[in-house]
Amino acid sequence: MIRCLLAQISRNQNGQLVRKELEATGEAVQIGRAAGCKILLLDHRVNFHHATIHYSDGGKLFIEAEEGADITINGSPELSAELSPGTHVLVGPYELIAETPTDDYDLVLSVEMVHPLPDDHEHISANQAPVTLAGAGLSKRKLTLWLAGAIALIFLILPMIPASSPTLPKWVTSLQASIKKSWQLGEMSRGHHLISAKCDACHLKPFEAVPDKACENCHKTVARHIEDKTLHANAFKDMRCGECHHEHRGETREVTQDAQCVACHAKIKKKNDKTKLANIRDFSKDHPAFSLTFKTGHKDSDVVRISQIDKAKLIEKSGLKFSHKVHLDKEGVSSPEGDTVLECRDCHQLDAAGTRFSPISMENNCQQSGCHALNFKPPVSKRQIPHSSEQKLMVTLREYYATTAISKATAGEKLQCGAGVGVGKNQLERALDCANHNAYVNAEILFKPNSGCGECHEITPDADDKDIPWKVTPVSITSHWLRNSHFTHAKHSTAKCSECHDKTLSEKSSDVAIPAIEKCRECHVGNKRVKNRLNSGCDNCHSFHNKNAPPSSVAAH
């Protein structure tokens, strides 16, 4: 981000200098006579896009002439040069002088027209006979009134007609050439292109700024920037949507810019002295460490945010036991097809949006591959127990052993039960006791801490439940670690997973492998232009109206 103070120099009737200061801020500062240029020089001797000021790879400010344009640096024609204090740049008839920068601005430029056009009035008067309206038989006053009336009719009255009747806007929209174009400052953004001819959709009253309710008529589900309603009202007091969201700037221009974010967040603690957010101006300079979102329950609101600085607290309590080190062994892991070397993508599959990963499940990943089976303990048939709740598992075991015991009892075969089971009871009752006994013995093996279900799940005894005295800790896996930002894995597909998430030595499920901000800065550099690095603005990762932000983010503001 270049923060430039532009000092426009002119002279009054007495020849005294008049200095007017303006701000020109952006990732790059364009110079020319086009409407979108930050430094606007309105003279036909200046190209529409004449030159650009930007940061070099070394972090220094440079001015560079656009193709087909000429600039003069300290009296010599050049294509580009460093803008150090005292540098004189001639752009057409204008002289730009780089002054000493201040604490608030990276660049201070004075601009003065030093080569004005000559006054050709005397030359014209000497070579041509004077022509006046009176000499042509016309009245200056009448002609002025007629022209003023025509201008008022075409550019003032006609564009206002649709606002006076609900039926006229449809007629106006059907016209090939809209009569409202005379008032339109520029092309609409891509998001509002479909209503570009319906001015009254946003401009509810002539000569009044677009009110917030006009935006809310369409954007009904947009969330506030701050979840807390009172805090939001205090922070954005007397501000309209249109102060940040600027339209009529073309389809390819951003609706908001980093400068608008920095305007508040550079001094966020002055907005709210109780905020936990840090002052920030640029991703590369002063962006704080990431805060990761940890789940504390099954509800979407059951979360807590922990900064990556607090490494001792970065522990995921998922309820699972899992070793990435075992599964990513370079020698391979045992599978139905022999020792197989696994890669991250064998289990982690991108979702349809390419943003995050589809959930991993026992049925779709572990069992589908044939690597893991949920057999009875000890195995008794080809049948497997369900990967479900403790209750459904016990029902399956009792159903299987009851069917087997009753079949044997009916056939008069000997039942295989524990000593003393069903003593003194008839054959059917003894068969049911035998089934319950075998189901309980099998479940006892399955629910051991490091056997069966206990190989992957955390299991705790439950003495209060005599029917099922074991409880499996509910699984709670975090799927979105950075809930106050957006990240697309599809755009990072050229990098290996291990470059950012190295879990080849991880033996515990509690290990967190989300890369720190320093890793991101190896490729992303904020608002500066650096060779072989990606320029990243605020909206690359953050959305202003983030409806999916967790409630815990309220306190952060």
For residue 373, give Cα distances in angstroms to 15, 102, 109, 362, 394: 93, 69, 73, 9, 17
Residue pair 400/383 in contact (Cβ under 8 Å)? The answer is yes
Domain over 2-116 is classified CATH 3.40.190.10 = no
In this prediction, residue 238 carries a pLDDT of 79
Cα–Cα distance for residue pair 220/217, rounded to 1 Å? 6
The CA dihedral of 192, 193, 195, 199, to the nearest 10 degrees, is 80
The 10 Å CB-count burial string (b at 16+, else e) for 469-501 is ebebeeebebebbebbeeeebeeeeeeebeebb
Structure tokens belonging to residue 390: 């403790």
**% helix, strand, coil for the chain, step of 5:** 30, 15, 55
Can you list the positions of beta strands (E) in 170-265? none
In this prediction, residue 550 carries a pLDDT of 43
Give percent of the chain with pLDDT exceeding 70.
87
Domain edges within the chain: 2-116, 159-255, 390-472
For 223-227, the CB contacts below 8 A with 24+ separation are 223/545, 223/546, 223/547, 223/549, 224/545, 225/544, 225/545, 225/546, 226/554, 226/557, 227/549, 227/551, 227/553, 227/554
Cα–Cα distance for residue pair 371/363, rounded to 1 Å? 11
pLDDT 10s digits, 259-281? 888 888 888 888 777 788 888 98
Task: Determine the number of helices (DSSP H) and then strands (DSSP E) in the chain.
Answer: 14, 16
In this prediction, residue 325 carries a pLDDT of 94
Residue pair 367/416 in contact (Cβ under 8 Å)? The answer is no
pLDDT 10s digits, 22-53? 888 888 999 999 988 999 999 999 999 999 99
Report, as an integer, the average pLDDT of 457-467: 90
Cα–Cα distance for residue pair 80/62, rounded to 1 Å? 7
Q: How confident is the model at residue 253 (pLDDT cuts 50, 70, 90)?
A: low
Which among 307, 284, 287, 292 has a CA at the least distance from the CA of 521? Answer: 284
pLDDT 10s digits, 182-216? 666 778 887 888 887 788 888 888 778 899 999 98
In this prediction, residue 368 carries a pLDDT of 78
